Structure 1
C-alpha cells in the first residue's frame, strides 16, 4: 500500500513525468497490474495490451460498486 501511495503522489504532483518508469515500477514488484491515466487527449499506461482486455471483478463487493455508480 505504501508503494501505491508513493506512485500515486508521483503522478499527482509531477504531471510531466516520463512514461518510461511505468513498466519498471510494476515489474520490480513482480505483479501483473495495469495503470491507466487518462486526460482529455491521451492515455498513459504501462501495458496497453492488457489494459484493453476486460476482466471480471474479483469480488462481490466490486460488482455491487459497479451497479451503484
Structure 2
C-alpha cells in the first residue's frame, strides 16, 4: 500500500490520499492521471488493469485502488 501511496503522491502531492474517498467524484484525478496510474500500477505491481476495471469505484480512493490491485494480483 505504501508504494501505491507514493505513486499517488507523485501525481498530486497536496492530496491526502490516505483519507480521501472522492478522487474521481471531486475530479481530483482526471483522465490523464488515470492513464498514468494504470501504467504505474502495471509497472510497480506487475498486474494488467483491464478496461472493465477502469471505473470510478476502483479509482475513488487509495483503498479501492489497493483492493483492485490485490484482486488482479490473484488472477
User: In which range does the TM-score fall when normalised by the shorter chain?
Assistant: 0.3 to 0.5
Question: Hey, which of these two has a bigger chunk of helix by percent?
Answer: 2
Greater Cα radius of gyration, structure 1 or 2:
1
Question: Hey, which of these two has a bigger chunk of strand by percent?
Answer: 1
- Larger relative contact order (Cα-Cα within 8 Å, sequence gap ≥ 6): 2
TM-score relative to the length of structure 2: 0.31
TM-score relative to the length of structure 1: 0.33
